[in-house]
Structure 1
Amino acid sequence: MNWISITSIDQLDQLTAESKTKPILIFKHSRSCSISKATLDRLERNWHLDGVKTYFLDLLTYRDVSNAIAKIFEVQHESPQVLIVDNGKSIYDRSHFDITFQDIKNKLQLVND
């Protein structure tokens, strides 16, 4: 996976704009959580989708950005958490072991069809 780091609240405007032409994925990761690490590893091992921009947030370092994501996309803060944002809105929100590559792939295919 080619992660693009999210390090500021200002980037969220860019992500929202990008999502209006093509869905984007946000992964919120906690370095101190073993479930987050396992979920990230599993997602990276299985990932084989081209053309999907994948954004990575270290929420321990950038908690203010994580809070802004929850507010802007109207989701409850979780860790780990994956969002798919399409047309400026979160259309997919999963956390912990509910995050699976196959589920993400299926959702992206529905959006792109």
Structure 2
Amino acid sequence: MGLLNKIFGGDKVAKEEKILPWVSFNDLQQIDYIKQKSSIKPQVIFKHSTRCGISSMVQRQFIKDYNFSEKELDLYYLDLLNYRKISDEVGFAFQLIHESPQLLVVKNGALVAHASHGQINEVDLNRFI
């Protein structure tokens, strides 16, 4: 019976879900706050479309690979479907064309790196700490 359970998934052990220290990005005033706080430590914004399969796939990989503490950087989550106006203002504030998914790294008040789609998981956040 043990072999059949292994073949058909009966012995699956529940995976512990990794939780990141996301800060919900849901207010326009956070843009100025992020710029100010970026002089203390890097601020990272992850823009995500909850209805996009590619965005979800990239987010899962990002979560899997993420290994930073809240002391090293702040990580903001921007739900594009619910906060599109904020996303537009982020693009204006940092002179960046909207894409989804998209990762922005802000340091000393300026955008120092950005990526979209599969390139997000190639960004070496260690460079900015």
Q: Distance in 2 between matches of 1:60 and 1:16?
A: 23
Q: Which residue of 1 aligns with 2:55?
A: 36
- Deviation digits for residues 68-108 of structure 1, max 9, x if unmatched? 000001111000000000111111110011111xx33x3x3
- Secondary structure in 2 matching 1:99: helix
- Describe how 1:1-113 pairs up with structure 2 within 5 A: 1-50=20-69, 51-100=72-121, 103-104=122-123, 106=124, 108-112=125-129
Q: Percent identical across equivalent pairs?
A: 34
Q: When the two structures are superposed, what TM-score results if normalisation uses the length of structure 1?
A: 0.90
Q: Structure 2: state its 5+ residue gaps.
A: 1-19
Q: Structure 1: state its 5+ residue gaps.
A: none
**Pairs aligned (count):** 108
Larger gyration radius, structure 1 or structure 2: 2
Q: Distance in 1 between matches of 2:49 and 2:127?
A: 29
RMSD of aligned alpha carbons: 1.1
Task: List structure 1 runs of 4+ shifted beyond 6 angstroms.
Answer: none
- Deviation digits for residues 12-57 of structure 1, max 9, x if unmatched? 1111110111111000000110010001100001111122210000
